[in-house]
Amino acid sequence: MSLSAQDPFYYIKDQLDELVGGLNSSYLRWQGLPASLERDGIAKQLVEKCGSIERQVDELDRAITVAERNPAKFRVGPAEIEQRRRWTTQTRSKIGGIKAAAQDAVQKAQAAAPMGGARFGAPPPTQKQGPDYSQHNDDYIASESDRQSLLMREQDQDLDDISTSLEKIGGVGATIHEELSQQEGMIDELQHDVDSTSSKLAYVQKKLEHVIRKAGSKGQLAMVAALVILLIILVFLVFYT
C-alpha cells in the first residue's frame, strides 16, 4: 500500500472501527451467557482481543505523533491531528470498558473456582417431584445446553474473525512503519544535499565577488560568463549525478 495513494490512518481506522463493533457484539452476547467454564474461557479471550486492539491503536497513535511533529511533511493540519487524537481516545475508552468487565469476570471465576460446580447456576430446586418433572427438567437442560452451544460457536467465530482482521491490520501497520521510516530517511538525505549545495553556492558566490572586484570591465564580463557556465555545471553535477 502506498502512502500517496491512500491515507493509511483512515484505512486502519475503518478496520479498527469494524473490529471494535464486532468485539462489542461478542461482549453483549457473552454477558447473556450463564455461568460456566466456557463463559470464563470466552472472558479470557475477550481480554486478549482487547489487548491486541489496544496495541494497534497505540501504533496508530505513534503515527499521529510523527505526523504532528512534521505537519508540513505529512500534510496534516492541527485540526486533523486533534480529530485523530479524539478518535484514539474514544476507541481506547470503549475497549477499556469491555476489557475491565471481562477481567473482572475472570478474577471472580478464579476466586470462585474452589467452590466447584455450585457456581454454574443449575436450575433452582423445587418441591415438585415425579416422572413429569424429571422429563421436564431433562428437556430444559437439553434445550439450555443446545442454546449455550450455539452461543459458544457464534462467539468462537466472532473471535476468530477478530483475530484474522488483527493479523491483516498488523501487516498494514508494519508497512506504514516501514514507509514512514523510508520517507524520513529520504527527506533527511535530501536536506543534507540541499545544505551541501547551499554551502557550495555560497562559496562560489564569494569567489565570484572577489574576482569581479579585481577584474576590469571586459575582464568582468568574461569572468562572469565563465563563472556562470561553471555554476551551471556545478548545479548539474550536484542534482543529476
Strands (E), 89-154: none
For 131, the grid coordinates are 416422572
Give Cα 230 distance to the centre of its chain. Answer: 52
pTM over 0.75: no
Lowest mean pLDDT segment, chosen from 11-15, 61-65, 75-79, 138-142 = 138-142
- Count each helix (H run) and each strand (E run) in the chain, helices first: 6, 0
Residues 211-225: b if buried by 16+ CB within 10 A, e if exposed = eeeeeeeeeeeebee
Quick one: pLDDT band at residue 50, thresholds 50, 70, 90?
very high
Mean pLDDT of the chain: 73
Instruction: List C-alpha distances in Å: 10 to 5, 119, 173.
Output: 12, 45, 12
